[in-house]
Amino acid sequence: MTILEKITSYKKQEVFARKMAFPLSLLKQSKLYNRECFSMAKNVSEGSGIIAEHKRRSPSKSVINEKVLVPEVVIGYEKAGVSAISILTDTKFFGGSLDDLLVARAHVNIPLLRKDFIIDPYQIHEAKAYGADAILLIAACLDEKQLKEYSEIAKQLGMDVLLEIHNEAELKRSLHPTVDLLGVNNRNLKTFEVSLEASKRLSTLMPDTYVKISESGISSVDAINELKPFGFKGFLIGERFMKTENPGESAEQFINALS
């Protein structure tokens, strides 16, 4: 099994257990469930374009940063001028949680992306109930019917959709009007190798009606300058900031270097 297959297999069990313990009817009673969301697509297009991530660890890099607290990180990111913040909510493989999303929502007023492996509509409602403004859908985890259904549910709830692709085949089945942002993951999910060539190669096939995002392996201003001519407006950056003692300060220095 690939790491993605391991994650999604475990995720199905995890989500089933959560649905039993905390039914959808209870999620809908959350104070945040009916809040009006910030537009991630608008913020990315009009702002710095940096989507900074809160990520404690990953399957490929083990521990990244388990010391800094969520409020410290997200407040620092907002002060730095990021366009949105990605919150890893997967616990087993990335050390995150839905509580991280809830805490982040209480401390910042910019778009929050729930980054997880969404394999069930329940998780979309969960994202809304815990304060997310946008969700990540990974084409490699879902079939075309699911991509369409899940993105439509997100839009009905007022959230933006970032749809992540890895190749041309995934791109072709991901072009739905309910998708706002198209992201190219530069990391090969089978080998975990990273190359910006993935973004460059797929950029010419991505319609301009979507906000183009490049994800993974972006650790320098030069990389962003290299990708902008290909139409990319957003850049999801996690480890570059999180591996430092002060992620917010690191993000601020990075964004200042862009201008």
Q: Which of 78, 86, 115, 233 is catalytic?
A: 115
Q: Which of 11, 14, 43, 55 is catalytic?
A: 55
- Contacts for 152 with CB less than 8 Å, ≥ 6 apart: 176, 178
Measured between its terminal Cα atoms, the distance across the chain in Å is: 43
Q: Which of 78, 126, 215, 239 is catalytic?
A: 215
Say whether 53 is catalytic: yes
Round to whole Å and give the CA distance between 259 and 177. 32
Q: Which of 164, 170, 239, 252 is catalytic?
A: 164
Q: Which of 53, 78, 170, 239 is catalytic?
A: 53
Say whether 164 is catalytic: yes
Say whether 215 is catalytic: yes
Cα 179–chain centre separation: 14
Round to whole Å and give the CA distance between 224 and 186. 13
Say whether 48 is catalytic: no
Cα 191–chain centre separation: 21
Q: Which of 58, 151, 174, 185 is catalytic?
A: 185
Say whether 9 is catalytic: no
* DSSP conformation letters of 23-65: -HHHHTTSTTTTSPPP-HHHHHHHS--EEEEE-SEETTTEES-
* DSSP conformation letters of 75-107: HHHHHHT-SEEEEE--STTT---HHHHHHHHHH
CB 235 within 8 A of CB 227: yes
Instruction: Quickly list H helices, the chain.
Output: 3-21, 24-27, 40-46, 70-80, 98-107, 121-129, 144-156, 168-172, 197-203, 221-227, 239-242, 247-258
Residues classed as catalytic: 53, 55, 115, 164, 185, 215-216
